[in-house]
């Protein structure tokens, strides 16, 4: 668009608003007779019939109502350690003390391995959360596993000890989950 056309469009828009403003300000305000009649109506009064005046409190059927409430937490699975369920979920078999480090599951009993994506920069980072104990020993073992698995010389990884997490530059979610499942987490 050239500058002349743009200013012409702007001028038409502003003049249209000016015309609209003058048309609205010159219009007389009228009140409807129905709106005035609402104030004359009597105030409503409600009475409860005698058949509904008494309320019965019953706790016999309360368990039918309780099952409709959402659960406050996800219940622990009732499978033996290391067992694979039909959905593919694997129960943890490692106990704290089996390794110099321990990885707690998330509240939904899943492995805490996450992928973070920055779409406008095409950056991917893999995170392992809830690492307790010697986080640097896990970092070294994970680094060796990924180097053997991906056949790369350089992996950009770091351990963030205060936040109990490991950060890996790139998409390694499947490989990290496989490593943790082999370790029993």
Q: What is the DSSP string of 8-36?
A: HHHHHHHHHHHHHHHHHHHSPP---HHHH
Q: Check if the beta carbon of residue 103 is closer than 8 Å to that of residue 92.
A: no
So what's the pLDDT on residue 5? 47
Using pLDDT thresholds of 50, 70 and 90, give the confidence band for residue 185: very high
Instruction: Kindly give the interhelix angle for 173-183 and 135-150, rounded to the nearest 10 degrees.
Output: 120
Give CA–CA dist 9/118, Å, rounded: 40
Mean pLDDT value across residues 19-28: 53
So what's the pLDDT on residue 60? 87
In a domain, 68, yes or no: no
Range of the domain at 111: 101-183
What are the DSSP E strand ranges found in 15-128?
A: 101-103, 113-118, 123-128
In a domain, 62, yes or no: no
Give CA–CA dist 112/106, Å, rounded: 6
Residue 66 has pLDDT above 70, yes or no: yes
The span from the first CA to the last CA of the chain, in angstroms, equals 63
- State the maximum Cα–Cα separation within the chain, in Å, rounded to a whole number: 87
Using pLDDT thresholds of 50, 70 and 90, give the confidence band for residue 134: very high
In a domain, 110, yes or no: yes
CATH number at residue 122: 3.30.780.10
pTM metric for this prediction = 0.61
How much is the CA Rg of the chain, to the nearest whole Å?
A: 34
Give CA–CA dist 149/147, Å, rounded: 5
Angle CA(161)–CA(102)–CA(135) in degrees, nearest 5? Answer: 25
In a domain, 109, yes or no: yes
Place of tokens 């039918």: 64
Of 39-53, 58-72, 98-112, the poorest mean pLDDT is in 39-53
Of 4-13, 17-26, 27-36, 173-182, the poorest mean pLDDT is in 4-13
Cβ neighbours, 10 Å, residue 113: 23
In a domain, 118, yes or no: yes
In a domain, 41, yes or no: no
Most trustworthy range by pLDDT among 14-18, 51-55, 152-156, 159-163: 159-163
At residue 86, φ and ψ (nearest 5 deg) are: -60, -25
Residue 34 has pLDDT above 80, yes or no: no
Task: Give the total number of structural domains in the chain.
Answer: 1
Mean pLDDT value across residues 128-150: 94
Pairing of strands 165-169, 157-160: antiparallel
So what's the pLDDT on residue 1? 47
- Residues with Cβ within 8 Å of residue 151, at least 6 apart in sequence: none
In a domain, 74, yes or no: no
Residue 128 has pLDDT above 90, yes or no: yes
Residue 37 has pLDDT above 70, yes or no: no
In a domain, 78, yes or no: no
């Amino acid at each position: 668009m050239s500058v002349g056309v743009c200013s012409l469009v702007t001028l038409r828009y502003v003049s249209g608003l000016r015309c609209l403003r003058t048309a609205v300000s010159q219009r007389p305000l009228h009140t409807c007779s129905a709106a005035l009649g609402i104030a004359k109506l009597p105030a409503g009064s409600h009475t409860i019939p005698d058949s509904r005046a008494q309320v019965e409190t019953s706790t016999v059927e309360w368990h039918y109502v309780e099952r409709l409430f959402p659960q406050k937490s996800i219940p622990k699975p009732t499978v033996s350690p290391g067992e694979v369920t039909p959905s593919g979920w694997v129960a943890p078999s490692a106990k704290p003390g089996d390794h110099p480090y321990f990885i707690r599951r998330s509240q939904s009993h899943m492995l805490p391995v996450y992928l973070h994506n920055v779409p406008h920069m095409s950056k991917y980072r893999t995170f392992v959360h809830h690492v307790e104990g010697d986080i640097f020993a896990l970092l070294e073992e994970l680094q060796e596993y990924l180097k053997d698995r991906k056949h790369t010389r350089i992996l950009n990884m770091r351990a963030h000890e205060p936040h109990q997490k490991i950060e890996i530059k790139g998409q390694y979610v499947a490989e990290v989950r496989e490593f943790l499942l082999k370790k029993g987490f």
